[in-house]
Amino acid sequence: MQPLTRPQGEILIGARGSKLAVAQAHAVGHALTRSQAGLSYRLVRIKTTGDVRREEALPDIGGKGLFTREIEQALLDGRIDLAVHSLKDLPTESSQGLGIRATPARAPANDALISRDDIPFDKLPKGARVGTSSLRRAAQLLRLRPDLYICPIRGNVDTRIAKLHSGEYHAIVLAYAGLVRLGRGDEASEVLPFDIMMPAPAQGALGVQARTAAGELARVRANDDVELDKDRHALFVRRTAAIDHVDTFLATTAERALLQALGGGCSLPLGAYAEKTGSDTLRLRAILLAPDGQQQATADQRGATKDPRALALAVAEELRSAGADAILQANQAS
């Protein structure tokens, strides 16, 4: 493998090729170039397993790494310098040699309902067909409206909205952050409050991923003809730090640590949201549901911002006290 050649100061940013992923990557690239003079970036679009197998239900093809695995490999191979992910898609356990270098300020974490004739959630007709492939969304919808008919749906934002308007569904549920980032936030019929729909851990947040110093050295040892720019790793750390948002980092660390503590992947019907409630206090709310939404365990605790993982463990214990283990077994059996 020959060393990459590019203009001085140029960073290669990898992302999925969807409109939303491209918009997110450009937002990060623009933020980086605004933060430091002489810096430029080039976007590299990478197709992932989740993009290729678009007709299959996500839980059926495995939850972990469906939208990230190929991008991470490009990082490890040195074909890109940074990767921009929807943080909720990243497995909670970092791939060896890679790490999250920045979490930019979070967009709204809520889910959004888009319905025909702008009908709100509580006014949807009995037996309405609601499109979502998320077990978390399905369970929460059925918790409040067991009469609804939950139908799987895949595809990008444009595809899903087109399927709605073609008459396949009465409504669909999407992450509101995606609509906002695409300039389509006004198409939401209702931004669902957390008492209706608790978001996925890290929903609305981005993760900027890079090789760690150890990962960089491992790549060089495996490819003797690759030259290592010794200052490059430190340079990336400095540059990505300029767009890191501490409150987003604290909140998403707590949410992802909770997901990890429960042993679940991104397909687990877990809703979680953390936020600062004081200068040194973090609040973490969570709900874990059985697939049909009729069993649930909830938790709501506050902890110190200096240790978001300890707060996550405390919330996991509260969920277990409320019956989480039985619910987890029900999810595994379904």
**140/75 same-domain check:** no
- Residue 268 has a pLDDT of 86
Please return the burial class of 185, using the count of CB atoms within 10 Å of its CB with bins 0-12, 13-18 and 19+.
middle
**99/121 same-domain check:** no
Asked if residue 201 is part of any domain, the answer here is no
Tokens at residue 188, please?
């939401």
Tokens at residue 16, please?
């999925």
Residues 6+ apart with CB under 8 A from 84: 13, 14, 15, 21, 24, 25, 28, 206, 207, 208, 209
> Looking at residue 254, which CATH number applies to its domain?
3.30.160.40
Q: Are 258 and 316 in contact (CB under 8 A)?
A: yes
**56/134 same-domain check:** no
- Sign for the CA dihedral angle at 66, 67, 70, 73 comes to negative
Residues 6+ apart with CB under 8 A from 12: 4, 6, 41, 42, 44, 79, 80, 81, 82
Asked if residue 95 is part of any domain, the answer here is yes
Catalytic residue selected from 51, 60, 89, 195: 89
**282/141 same-domain check:** no
Q: Are 174 and 165 in contact (CB under 8 A)?
A: no
**97/134 same-domain check:** no
Q: Are 100 and 208 in contact (CB under 8 A)?
A: yes
Asked if residue 1 is part of any domain, the answer here is no
**CB neighbourhood size of 198 (10 A):** 26
Which residues face 174 on adjacent strands? Answer: 112
Task: Please report, for residues 76, 105, 210, 238, the alpha-carbon distance to residue 232 in angstroms, rounded to integers and kept in the order given.
Answer: 14, 25, 11, 10
Asked if residue 199 is part of any domain, the answer here is no
Asked if residue 132 is part of any domain, the answer here is yes
Chain-centre distance for alpha carbon 255: 11
- Residue 202 has a pLDDT of 97
Asked if residue 197 is part of any domain, the answer here is no
pTM summary value: 0.88
**CB neighbourhood size of 21 (10 A):** 26
> Which domain does 272 fall in, by range?
248-333
**73/220 same-domain check:** yes
**86/146 same-domain check:** no
- Give pLDDT tens digits for 227-285: 444 455 555 556 688 899 999 999 999 999 999 999 876 678 999 999 999 999 999 99
**15/126 same-domain check:** no
Q: Is 89 known to be catalytic?
A: yes
DSSP H or E run through 261: helix 246-261
Q: Measure the CA angle with vertex 110, ends 252 and 154; round to 5°.
A: 95
Last residue of a domain, one of 191, 216, 232: 191
Q: Are 198 and 285 in contact (CB under 8 A)?
A: yes
**24/100 same-domain check:** yes
For the chain, which ranges sit under pLDDT 50? 1-3, 58, 61, 215-230
| Type of residue numbered 245 | H
**211/185 same-domain check:** no
- Give pLDDT tens digits for 199-233: 999 999 999 999 886 544 444 334 333 344 445 55
Asked if residue 63 is part of any domain, the answer here is yes
How many Å apart are CA 312 and CA 183, to the nearest integer?
33
Q: What are phi and psi of 253, to 5 degrees?
A: -65, -45
**CB neighbourhood size of 218 (10 A):** 15
- Residue 205 has a pLDDT of 98
**14/72 same-domain check:** yes
Give the count of domains, the chain.
3
Q: Where do the DSSP E strands lie in the chain?
A: 10-15, 40-45, 82-86, 98-102, 111-115, 129-131, 149-151, 171-175, 190-191, 206-211, 270-278, 281-289, 296-304
Asked if residue 5 is part of any domain, the answer here is no
Q: Are 201 and 227 in contact (CB under 8 A)?
A: no
> Looking at residue 231, which CATH number applies to its domain?
3.40.190.10
**268/226 same-domain check:** no
Which residues face 112 on adjacent strands? Answer: 174, 191
